[in-house]
Structure 1
């Protein structure tokens, strides 16, 4: 039998079913299915991404999947989908993740009037997105596929950046070269297959997201792929008349063709439009760095030994007790009130 792709050892499907009750399919991708599950000990919902090992191996995606799991395991931020644990059977790789109850931002836009948002709500989502992207970059992780379909919403409509299938890691003094992501959101240097550091391509994609939130359409669009490429490479676009003046400057600086002249994440956070009504929780850098004693007490009430749990949390172990702690923490802790 081939070696495991992401786990230390193979598990049985029954091992997963001892911890989680599966309910129904909630999503299907090219190489995966997402199932809604319930964590048995805490009775909290989770999402379980199921990928066929055969498809992974035959598709040459072993390293891609391993990188996705490594990256998600590293990222612990309130605006990034949390990975809880991974099971690997001889047949499947199963990734247990935070469940985003409200679906993705694309679905949310579809039910809005004219498929766009008012300025204040668009800014509220965008502030969360940029904070999550900044955190990714601080961990040397480049998403490379930021789009409204990969931005998920929890019960309070907080942004959760997900789908790290195309992510990669920045190397100090090095460049990335792979062209990937969705064309409408792709930076010019990706289309030209030029080397890039990484953060600048995520900034471009975030600029497209902000344009979509406010405009209800893409800044660059055409049914003909060649023409679409030309529009992106030229960097020429227009704003609908109803897009407010405030964010126009920021979007234009994010959608600058020359990556060296493009605004950085740090500069975005200092932009006057971005700094209006910043949610208080966005400055909470210690969201996961201290142990929540209330959640700790609830986990010990489920039968886990307190001191062992504390040690697992301090050592970043993925024990059953630690997983239970993070599931309860993510499901029950309210970052702030939802957008009013």
Structure 2
């Protein structure tokens, strides 16, 4: 009693109770493991089953959605992503195995891709050269062709970070948060336009007659860093509209995520009296940017000043890499054509992609 009166008081904090997305928790028959990645407001954990299977689980907490500038829009896009993702099935589309929705978070169980994204691979290995770039590019094209011609969708966020590579070297397109049907505006967009433009209708007609070829998965080439010297500057033949002035250019295209601006097509940056409808040509431009990066290890349009970067994209001036072959040059020119009507279709890119590498 006497000693206890002089004993220092110690406050023992109670341990934090486990959260539904903590390591060790179970989701859809899988035990959550360590964190392997993070998104804008999501966390990706490795997870394993009792039989030894390994998957990746994308976790989006309700509390993180509530902290966004427009929680309602974010939730709508998340629901849209889940609906679209679950409807897709193709060798080069990241599969969604199951989705669990709780009051705490949404859990999306998908394929674990240990090689990471194309961005990760470029960071580790540098430019892939013609053979490596061509092999990866053709797979992305096949996945995107399925989306355009079979599913009738525009991805709207094609970039290195959104293409994952599995343990066999097979590319898988992921992240469908901005994906939309060809020619259809989002519910939150208002438009006085009537109908879908002629090119969107043309793509819809192509879906019915398209036949998809199969690609054989292959291992990614482990090539040493290749330095590409600056080549001649290439400029699209289509003139820049006189209405495009630096002050009139949108500061942040609403249909592109932060960090995706270098992949944005020129028409997305021009001022429009009505919202621009989703069009496959927007993905085609991004495909050209992606191929350029795979070949050279850098983006065709870069600038630390955002407005200046937008003007570079609008003018469509970039350095054509040297030593990449005529086939790759043709694909780059066809994809990064400023005029939407002159830009290649996904079928044209697919046919010519065999000339890359």
Match of 2:256 in 1: 180
Compared CA separation, residues 76 and 183, structure 1 to 2 (3 A):
same
Number of residue equivalences: 262
Q: Which residue of 2 aligns with 1:121?
A: 132
TM-score (norm 2): 0.69
Unaligned runs of 5+ in 1: 1-11, 279-340
In the alignment, which residue of structure 2 is the partner of 1:108? 121
Q: Is the partner of 1:111 in helix, strand or coil?
A: helix
| 1:192 paired to 2:270 | yes
The structure-2 alpha-carbon separation of the partners of 1:277 and 1:166, relative to structure 1 and needing over 3 Å to count, comes to closer
Counterpart-to-counterpart distance in 1, 2:264 and 2:323: 25
**Distance apart, 1:193 and its partner CA:** 5.1
- SS of the aligned residue for 1:120 comes to helix
Structure 1 residues 277 and 190, CA, compared in 2 at 3 Å: closer, same or farther?
closer
Map of 1:208 onto structure 2 = 289
- Deviation digits for residues 21-58 of structure 1, max 9, x if unmatched? 11110001221000000133x42111101101133255
CA contact (8 A) 1:148 1:209 kept: yes
- Give the stretch that moved more between structures: 219-228 or 57-66: 57-66
Query: Quick check: 1:256 aligned with 2:337?
Result: yes
Task: Tell me by how many angstroms 1:277 deviates.
Answer: 9.3
Shift of 1:178: 4.8
Kindly tell me: are residues 18 and 234 of structure 1, through their superposed partners in 2, closer, same or farther at Cα, counting changes over 3 Å?
A: closer
TM-aligned CA distance change 1:154 to 1:18, over 3 Å = closer
5 Å-filtered alignment, 1:93-172, equals 93-112=106-125, 115-137=126-148, 138-171=150-183
1:52 aligns with 2:133: no
1:70 deviates by 0.6
Shift of residue 268 of structure 1?
1.1
**Higher RCO (CA 8 Å, separation ≥ 6 residues):** 2
Cα gap change, 1:18 to 1:77, in 2 (>3 Å) = closer
C-alpha separation between the residues in 2 aligned to 1:196 and 1:130? 22
Contact 1:174–1:197 under 8 Å retained in 2: no
Tell me how large the CA RMSD over aligned residues is. Answer: 2.3
Residue 185 of structure 1 contacts residue 204 of structure 1 at CA under 8 Å; is this kept in 2? yes
- Please give the residue correspondences for 1:33-52 in structure 2 after superposition, counting only pairs within 5 Å: 33-40=43-50, 42-52=51-61
Structure 1 residue 237 displacement after superposition: 1.0
- Name the CA distance, whole Å, in 2 between partners of 1:55 and 1:174: 36
Counterpart contact for 1:28–1:34, Cα < 8 Å: yes
- TM-superposed deviation, 1:171: 4.1
- Partner Cα distance (1:237, 1:98) in 2: 36
C-alpha distance in 2, partners of 1:277/1:188?
24
Q: CA deviation at 1:242?
A: 3.5
Once the two structures are superposed, residues 152-171 of structure 1 have per-residue CA deviations (whole angstroms, 9 ceiling, x without a partner) of: 01001110111112212224
1:88–1:94 contact (8 Å) kept in structure 2? yes
* 1:23 to 2:36 alignment: no
* 1:112-150 per-position Cα deviation (integer Å, ceiling 9, x unaligned): 2xx201201111111100000011122122111111111
Q: Deviations over 1:204-252 (max 9, x none)?
A: 1011000001111111111111111111001111123243332011101
Cα contact 2:156–2:255 (8 A) shared by 1:
no
1:180–1:190 Cα contact (<8 Å) kept: no
Find the residue that maps to 1:231 and give its secondary structure: helix
Deviation at 1:69, TM superposition (A): 0.4
